[in-house]
Structure 1
């Protein structure tokens, strides 16, 4: 509980008031049956209308008191649980934002969405229910037992015979419920992951006419969730009939046994009425407790899943950095005998013994076959991943010694998969710099060859892009992402195959602008086309995670066999296309 005290402390008043106010309902429910028995035994039996009205007035006052307490208890329990879950959700989201790429790889996106929404909602529900029932259910149980005992000890024997059976039934139900709820939450994960994937890639699905396939895939996961939910709900459904059966059997036994006592003159009629009400209260309190425990069982499965996120050890931090205040000033990048692998502890190295130096302001082209490690290499510069062996230095400082914030502020990156967000074009570009003037925004859009098409839109830079930039083409999206990175004014710029969707003439103009706009910026350009990097100061040729050659275009054409193969195969394709 120490871990969750931080979510309780700010709303401690609500957490205390909620169960205390619900306690007023308990006091009323315990008193009302006794007052009813007094009316029957004294007022009705003695035909005393004044007594009946007097006791009725007291009962009405108690009912109003109970209603006020119930409303207050419900309000504060709702406030406490909602605020608790809001703060918990904020911390879980904050933790996810701190995740490294390795940490994110351990969770599917759908699973993280489920944990932030459905799982935390389950926790909120059980906190609310617990606050309402914390005193009410035990209070009704204890108060009802005391009042029933004081009224008639002989009838208590019937009740005491039933309670252990009910407690045992509740225990068995809970033991069976927990693993089923945990399995159900995992199936919700799978459904959410599938839905997200289908909605995100809906254009691809339609272009390949795969709607039927996706529907069938969804039906499988949806049916799996249905069966898992029904499997879990069988336990919940079974609990209520068991409780009702016990209540009805007990009530029947008490009425039969109590009726004999009344006939024998050993018990007033009013006492039997009150005793029957107390039986209902006692058994209802057990039902409420079982409901709380069942909800808690599901919430515990959710809490464990949320705790998995909060307890995840961030494998990429700057807490041990020795140059946290350092800024990226010049943009010099050096790799010293760097090796890297995604799956730790195996022999599967993605990069092997990489050595090179990129001087400030240089343009470094990186080329190689698919899977050669191009993207993995540049991701080590802003510490999206950490090298397993060797050092990556920026301005002579190991990237692990920078604060992550300062390091990444000095690096602009246009990823292989271009991502834009809901909002206007201007809002998306200002991700590069919130404080940029409109003139700077337009200038960088011009450098990225984006201003032309943006200005052609009716609303210009105020054009809404829709979800994920759905209102622009692939080439336009790439140019906007480049403009966003340029607006950051980085000392190191990484373009990961980010001009693949633009024509060669536009690409050439973008590279030309780089020579003026980014003349002091170190530029890494990953490309599939040699034409995109042939004018670079250095070209790094990667082959199976190793450097096959470094040099200018002319030098590599003479010295690097891998580069020659790429060059001549591309040239042959171009000639065939031209013919």
Structure 2
């Protein structure tokens, strides 16, 4: 709850106004029974028509005042809930941006989406109901007991007994509902995950004619979620008849004992009416509070799930005293010195004793079989993971001694899996350079061999991009991702197997354009096709996480058996 309390105390003005409106609402609500008692005693009993009209108008004014205050309070409660949701979503988003890849992968995408949307929505709804319905309840209950005591001290035991019974019922309800509420949001995670898979993977499902199996999986998840909700609703369903029974017994007790006191001429008839209305108001507010309180266990489960993310201490953090990389003539842009890296829980390192240098004006290529650690090298350069031993230097400084923001500002990256964001083509190309001009976008697209198909579109660079770029082919997405990296001017460019979807003609044209354009930058190309890296100034051959060879194409053919084996499997004798 510390995050909620921290935010609520930060909005003291709204919170104070809500409390003030609750006081006014309680005052106005309690005035109505008082005027009703006066109408009976001073108007109806005494047959005083002017008194009936005067007191009736006063009662109408009190009711109107209470309605306006209640409307104002509702607005304030909605405002507070909306700001709370905004605050929590901002905190969640900021936290997820700080997590390492390993930490991020610990929670599924569906779970993080559910926490950011459904969980926070439930918290918002509960905050509205708590501030609107529960906050005035203690005031109404205390005032009702006091007013009843003023009218007739002997009748006070009736509302007090009713309150005690209510608290017992609510306590039992919490004991039953709490464990069920905690499991519901986990079921929502599962439902979201399966629905997302069935939508994203619709082509694969249809290609394998697997609709019936997926329908069965989804039905099971829906059934489990429905069973939990039904079980919770059954617990709540038992609450209503019990509440109405308590209310009926309380009213009967008021009329019975109150009527007896009227006959004894100890109190007036109007006073009985007032006590009845005070008791009814108290019970109604208690009932509304109880209906809200049954939502609290589920809200607490949502708060715990959000707290679970917010309490994570990021594995990769910036140093307290950050170094800055000043402009320098150092041509050694990235240097790996005896780097060893392994994933948590792995039996052996993914990379062992890795040492090489990427210089400006030169192209460094990394090749190797599947699982040899090629993409891991790119992740280490970006500091998506931290190494266990050794050093990775950026222009002479250990990347762990500079901020992640500054490090990534000096790198331009094309991921292995081409990913585009919803928006327009221009929006995606400007991701690394917000102020890029239309001419700069076109120039980058020409180098990436993407200008032809972009200009063939009706809206050109303003053409819409669907979520994840699903309205473009694999090759088009790769070229757009390469153009996006080129728009961001950086000393180092990393291409992580980003030519795999291109045909050989486009690949060759793109590499020629890149070589011409990036004469001053350090270029790192991770590839599986030898044809993509044959012209590289330095080729690093990885085999099972170790460097099996390093040199140019011709040297490696003569000295590295692993590289020769890859070349023989991909190229003809003439091409070799």
How would you bin the TM-score normalised by the shorter chain? over 0.9
Deviation at 1:208, TM superposition (A): 3.8
SS at match of 1:387: coil
SS at match of 1:285: helix
Q: Deviations over 1:497-553 (max 9, x none)?
A: 111111111111111112110122222212222222222222222222222222222
Give yes or no for contact 1:162–1:246 (8 Å, CA) kept in 2.
yes
Instruction: Return closer, same or farther for 1:554/1:325 CA change in 2, 3 Å cut-off.
Output: closer
Q: How many angstroms apart in 2 are the aligned matches of 1:327 and 1:118?
A: 47
Give the match for residue 466 of structure 1. Answer: 466
Give the match for residue 505 of structure 2. Answer: 505
Matches within 5 A, 1:231-270: 231-270=231-270
Give the match for residue 338 of structure 2. Answer: 337
Give the match for residue 447 of structure 1. Answer: 447
Give the match for residue 35 of structure 1. Answer: 35
Q: Deviations over 1:13-45 (max 9, x none)?
A: 222112211322211222222322232233222
Instruction: Return closer, same or farther for 1:434/1:539 CA change in 2, 3 Å cut-off.
Output: same
Deviation at 1:489, TM superposition (A): 2.2
Task: Select between 162-171 and 470-479 the one with higher mean Cα deviation.
Answer: 162-171
Q: Which runs of 5+ in 1 are unaligned?
A: none
SS at match of 1:349: coil
Deviation at 1:558, TM superposition (A): 2.5
Give yes or no for contact 2:432–2:484 (8 Å, CA) kept in 1.
yes
Give the match for residue 26 of structure 1. Answer: 26
Deviation at 1:91, TM superposition (A): 2.2
Q: How many angstroms apart in 2 are the aligned matches of 1:31 and 1:426?
A: 63
Give the match for residue 289 of structure 2. Answer: 289
Give the match for residue 144 of structure 2. Answer: 144
Instruction: Return closer, same or farther for 1:495/1:574 CA change in 2, 3 Å cut-off.
Output: farther
Deviation at 1:482, TM superposition (A): 0.7
Q: How many angstroms apart in 1 are the aligned matches of 2:251 and 2:35?
A: 20
Deviation at 1:154, TM superposition (A): 3.1
Deviation at 1:479, TM superposition (A): 0.8
Instruction: Return closer, same or farther for 1:328/1:104 CA change in 2, 3 Å cut-off.
Output: farther
Q: How many angstroms apart in 2 are the aligned matches of 1:77 and 1:204?
A: 47
Give the match for residue 58 of structure 1. Answer: 58
Q: Deviations over 1:386-434 (max 9, x none)?
A: 1122111121211112221121111111111101112222221112322
Deviation at 1:436, TM superposition (A): 2.3
Give yes or no for contact 1:325–1:403 (8 Å, CA) kept in 2.
no
Q: How many angstroms apart in 1 are the aligned matches of 2:517 and 2:548?
A: 31
Give yes or no for contact 2:332–2:357 (8 Å, CA) kept in 1.
no
Instruction: Return closer, same or farther for 1:331/1:255 CA change in 2, 3 Å cut-off.
Output: farther
SS at match of 2:7: helix
Matches within 5 A, 1:515-530: 515-530=515-530
SS at match of 1:247: helix
Give the match for residue 550 of structure 1. Answer: 550
Give yes or no for contact 1:350–1:545 (8 Å, CA) kept in 2.
yes
Q: How many angstroms apart in 1 are the aligned matches of 2:423 and 2:455?
A: 17
Give the match for residue 323 of structure 1. Answer: 323
Give yes or no for contact 1:321–1:403 (8 Å, CA) kept in 2.
no
Deviation at 1:241, TM superposition (A): 2.7
Give the match for residue 351 of structure 1. Answer: 351
Q: How many angstroms apart in 2 are the aligned matches of 1:325 and 1:400?
A: 12
Give the match for residue 438 of structure 2. Answer: 438
Give yes or no for contact 2:457–2:463 (8 Å, CA) kept in 1.
yes
Deviation at 1:264, TM superposition (A): 4.8
Give the match for residue 154 of structure 1. Answer: 154
Give the match for residue 278 of structure 2. Answer: 278
Task: Select between 472-481 and 545-554 the one with higher mean Cα deviation.
Answer: 545-554
Give the match for residue 400 of structure 1. Answer: 400
Give yes or no for contact 2:134–2:288 (8 Å, CA) kept in 1.
no
1:129 counterpart = 2:129: yes
Q: How many angstroms apart in 2 are the aligned matches of 1:315 and 1:500?
A: 32
Give the match for residue 484 of structure 2. Answer: 484
Give the match for residue 538 of structure 2. Answer: 538
SS at match of 1:279: helix
Give yes or no for contact 1:140–1:282 (8 Å, CA) kept in 2.
yes
Give the match for residue 74 of structure 2. Answer: 74
Deviation at 1:263, TM superposition (A): 4.3
Give yes or no for contact 1:20–1:135 (8 Å, CA) kept in 2.
no
SS at match of 1:493: strand
State the TM-score, normalizing by the size of structure 2.
Answer: 0.93
Q: How many angstroms apart in 2 are the aligned matches of 1:230 and 1:361?
A: 66
Deviation at 1:2, TM superposition (A): 6.3
Task: Select between 496-505 and 252-261 the one with higher mean Cα deviation.
Answer: 252-261
Q: Deviations over 1:252-286 (max 9, x none)?
A: 23323333444454443323222222221222232
Give yes or no for contact 2:429–2:441 (8 Å, CA) kept in 1.
yes
Q: How many angstroms apart in 2 are the aligned matches of 1:290 and 1:324?
A: 58
Deviation at 1:86, TM superposition (A): 1.5
Q: Which runs of 5+ in 2 are unaligned?
A: none
Deviation at 1:384, TM superposition (A): 1.5
SS at match of 1:278: helix
Deviation at 1:158, TM superposition (A): 3.7
State the TM-score, normalizing by the size of structure 1.
Answer: 0.93
SS at match of 1:455: helix
* Residues paired across the two proteins, number: 574
Q: How many angstroms apart in 1 are the aligned matches of 2:199 and 2:324?
A: 41
Q: How many angstroms apart in 1 are the aligned matches of 2:389 and 2:400?
A: 12
Give yes or no for contact 2:341–2:387 (8 Å, CA) kept in 1.
yes
Q: Deviations over 1:212-257 (max 9, x none)?
A: 3333322222222212222333333333332222111222233233
